[in-house]
Structure formats: C-alpha cells, structure tokens
Structure 1
Amino acid sequence: MMTSRKFTLAAITTCVLGAAAGAVHADVLDDIAKSKSIRVATDLAIPPSGMMDASMKPIGSDVETAQLLAKDWGLKLDFVQTTGATRIPNLQTGKADIAISTLSVTPERAKVIDFSKPYAVLESVIGGRKDVPVKSIDDLKGRTVCVTRGTTQDVELTKISRDKGFQVARYDDDATDVTAAVSGQCDLIATSLTIVNQITKKTPDRPFEKKVVLHVFDLAVGVKKGETQLLAKLNEWIDANLKNGKLNAIYKKYHGNDLPPQMR
C-alpha cells in the first residue's frame, strides 16, 4: 500500500514539475507575436545577399527576403548584424529569432539548429584569377586558399587541405576574405559563385573566374532547435512565396538568374 501511495505521489510530482517546466519555456513564435517584431540575423557584408547602400541602408537578396517576411507577418523588422561564424550562436543564445543569411543546409548544422524549407540556393566554388592554372582539387597543391571562418567552404577545405597539400587562410568576414584574395594574399578564394562574379565586376582589370565547383547548397532559414510552431509557419510562408514568384524575383534581381525549376 505504501509503495503504491509513494508511486502515486511521485507521478503527481513529476506531472506538476513537467507542467511548470513547460510554462517556463517560451515559444519563440509567441514571443514574436507579443513583441510584434522579429529579429533576423543577417550578414550585411556579403554582397549581393546582404550589404549597405550609399546611405547605409541594408539591401540585398537576404535583406529583401527578411523584409518581405516581416511585411507579410505584419511585424517590425530588426536586423541582427552577424558574420558567417556567429549566425548559429545568435540563434542558440536567443540574440536572434531566425537567421536569413546565406545559411547552407548541411548535416552538421542540422544537428544544432533546425532549417526551414529552402528559399534560395548557393553554388559553392573555388575561384581565382584567369591566369591561375587550377581546374581541380588536385591542382591546389602548394597554394593558399582564402575562406571565411565558419563557412561550409572552411569546413570542407579544412578536412582535405593536409592530404591535398594546400593551405587555408581564414578571415572573419567575407569583405576581408575578398580583399585578401584580390590583393594577392591568397592564390584562390573558396566562396559562393555570386561573390566570385562580384569580384570580377569590381576589378575588371583582374577578373576572377570559377575554377572548381565544391557543392550546390540549399539556402534555408535557420531556427533554434525545437521551435516547431515557428518552423511550420516559416515553411508555409516559403511555399506561398515560391509559388507566387516573389522569392524568385528577389533572387533574380540580385543574382542575375532564376531559382532552379524544381524550386519554382
């Protein structure tokens, strides 16, 4: 009898504590609704996805994607400026509600954050000047490749650099990374094809070109683990804006080409 009574009391206590823990846990979507604002982590130093115009106003494909989301949801938009290395920590620490910042979907990242459905794509490449004779990974031997710290390019090249005999030079943001490549501090740069094309536009006397394709990644909105309500609402929004063509129009405006047919 005592054993049964103890078990019953223990079960009740567990239920009460569980309910209390659930009450303490704040749902991010609820917080967004209460504050009538959304904090979006976006790198504003990675053109054309995120950048500042002459009047220091944020522009770019990720910026307009975030603006469209906030407008559709009737929210005030607060940008949380970030870098490649701080996008995920901003979500984990609650500094940002979501991340729209050329965030590639990878198995490693999916272990620590959740991803929405893809809203865009990124072609990850190694680029360099036309006079640099590189056509494959094996041609990197003895060379130095610039990367932005914490990016998928950094992770991938770090894994193979020793076996392939090349050096990886890491920089804290894309602007510094590009400057290093253009100034000749590195032979090559591992980044998105969009950035490689941007380098050529800015330095037509020393044009860069795609040398090696590393991957074609889906870009998705990053969300803190376990925020199922927010993730479901984001997926509904992405589906609707891929179907109506608005996300494709934003992508084409800044990147010069359409999203893949299967996305549209």
Structure 2
Amino acid sequence: MTQQILKRRPFMIFRRAAIAVLSAWLLPVAAFAQANEPTLAKIAKTGIVRIGHSAENFPFSYRQPDGTVTGYSTELCLEVVERLRQRLNLAEVKVEFVERTPRNRVAMLRDGDIDIECVASTNNAERRKSVGFSYPHFITGTQFVSLKKSNLRTIDDLAGHTVVATSGTTNIGQLNTINRERSLHIAVIPVETHKDAFQLVTEGRAAAFVMDGILLAAMVAKSSNPDDYELSSDALGWPEPYGLMVRLEDTEFREAINAALVEIYSSDRIEALYEKWFTSPVPPEGINMRVPMSAELKAAFDNPKDPTD
C-alpha cells in the first residue's frame, strides 16, 4: 500500500499544479468575459447595476456622514436606473455603489468593476477614445481658486507659481498646455484628490488649484471661511459638458441611458433636480450653491445630443 501511494504522488502533484495553473488562467478570462458582456443583458440577468460614485464631488456625488451616497448626478442616475428597470420588465433592480477616483474610473469601467459612472466627468474628444458618454447633464468650464489675499485673478497671474491639479482630470492637461504655450514657468503639481489640492491652497503650500469652476465653487461654499477664497476671472478653456460614463462601444446600454435621459429632460423632473441641488440648501450642512441654470445647460436639456468637438 505504501508503494502505491509513493507511485501516485508525482502524478497527484502534477495534477494539482495543472489545476492551479488552469485556475489562474481561467479567472482573468472569466473576468474579461464578464466585463465585455453587454451591460443591459447583464442587468437583465442579475438584477444588479453597479454605479461608480465619488466620496467628495459635492454636490454631484458624495457621501453623507451616515455613509449614504447622494448628489445631483447620483439622483439622476437612480432616475435612469428606474427607467431601465421598466424597459427590462424587472420587478426590481438592486443598486450597488462602488467608489472610484479620477485616476481609476476609466479602468474600473473597462474591467467591469462598475457599469456606469455618475459623478462629474468631462466629455471631450480625447476621453471619448477610452469611454462612452451619455447626453450632457451639466456644463462648466475650467477655472482656478486661490486665496483672495494672493491677488491671483487671471491665468497670467499664475506665472512662476506652484499650482496643483487632480491627477486623471482634463484640467491638468489644459493647465500644462497653457503653461507651455505661454511660457509661464508654472510648477504644476498633480495630487490624488480634489480635497488634497484644495487643502494645499488653504495652507499656502500652493498658489492655486485648477479644476472645474462648479466644483471649485462647491468647495469654497463648503469651507469654513468662504470669504478667504476667490475664483479666477479667466477660464482655461471653453465650457465643456459632463456626461454619465459607460464602457466604450457598449452602444446598446448608452442608447438606453440616453433614451431615459430624454424622458427626464422633457419632463419637469430635471428642473426639480437642478433646483434641489444648485439653488436650494443642500444636506447635510444646508449649503446653497446659488447657481442658476445656464443658457447652455438649458439648451442641452431642450435638445439632447452628443457633443461634436
């Protein structure tokens, strides 16, 4: 009996090793297949949709003190999900919120970790090479914020200063381009989060923070001393739209989202959502952004279409 066990052992070791190798190979294959399965079909099969959110992008997507994910983009996405549920004739759809960052959001979509990103992502030609976008749900331009005492109001005022921008955003690219074209000799410092960048300005370790104007206005409004800050009078580029992000070439899902948005935009619901988040006190601190709907955004709601830049 002992001899038989000894004779089998090399084969058993080989078999276990083969199984381990096969498993290691099959896991990424399965993950790849899942990530590339049409999203609508996956939702219909599982009854689950995974929404990518931010922890800090007030008032678009953020966590409240109790951990609840909320915000303008979040609520809009939930409205879209409800219409997808009706389209798929499902009794219910479970929403799973998955936190993402500006740096990893595209990879998380590509890898299937999230199905849709509902935050404040700029839709431009360069980014559309990597991901798909819904019709616009907000429009804003790039500005910078600085301490009022620094007297920095125009782009040229930034010459020779240290300026921060969040990694993975279009804003840092705009800043680098202007810096190079105008020979401003700005020391551009990438940081991981908007919160970190704003803190560097607050502490005087950076002269300015370049970001979407609406997000800067929100951060100033939420700060302990809003009067200490000033937004630039200059913009670093033309206003650009935000869109809900989906996987590249997931055409059926994108079209379903756009159909849902057309319904929402043609009803009174979009005006109610906008008023709740941009012209009324917002929980939990009761901050009122006092940002009326721009003519550009109203036109985007009245005639939803893809950007042509």
Shorter chain as denominator, the TM-score bin is 0.7 to 0.9
Amino acid at match of 1:38: V
CA contact (8 A) 2:164 2:206 kept: yes
CA distance in 2, matches of 1:117, 1:94: 21
Where 1:117 maps in the other structure, the secondary structure is coil
Amino acid at match of 1:133: N
Matches within 5 A, 1:1-264: 26-74=37-85, 75-162=93-180, 163-201=183-221, 202=223, 203-214=225-236, 215-256=238-279, 257-258=292-293, 260-264=297-301
Give the TM-score normalised by the residue count of structure 2. 0.72
Further displaced range: 159-168 or 229-238: 159-168
- The offset of 1:25, in angstroms, is 5.7
CA gap 1:142/1:51 in 2 versus in 1, 3 angstroms:
same
CA distance in 2, matches of 1:258, 1:123: 14
CA contact (8 A) 1:102 1:219 kept: yes
Aligned length: 242
CA distance in 1, matches of 2:216, 2:249: 36
Amino acid at match of 1:61: Y
Q: Deviations over 1:105-125 (max 9, x none)?
A: 111111111211112223321
- The offset of 1:205, in angstroms, is 4.6
CA contact (8 A) 1:127 1:211 kept: no
CA distance in 2, matches of 1:146, 1:182: 12
CA gap 1:78/1:211 in 2 versus in 1, 3 angstroms:
same
CA contact (8 A) 1:48 1:194 kept: no
CA gap 1:183/1:254 in 2 versus in 1, 3 angstroms:
farther
CA contact (8 A) 1:45 1:52 kept: yes
Higher Cα Rg, which structure: 2
Runs of 4+ in 1 over 3 A off after TM superposition: none
Percent of paired sites with the same residue: 20
CA gap 1:183/1:253 in 2 versus in 1, 3 angstroms:
farther
Further displaced range: 194-203 or 172-181: 194-203
Q: What 5-or-longer segments of structure 2 have no aligned partner? A: 1-32, 86-92, 280-291, 302-309
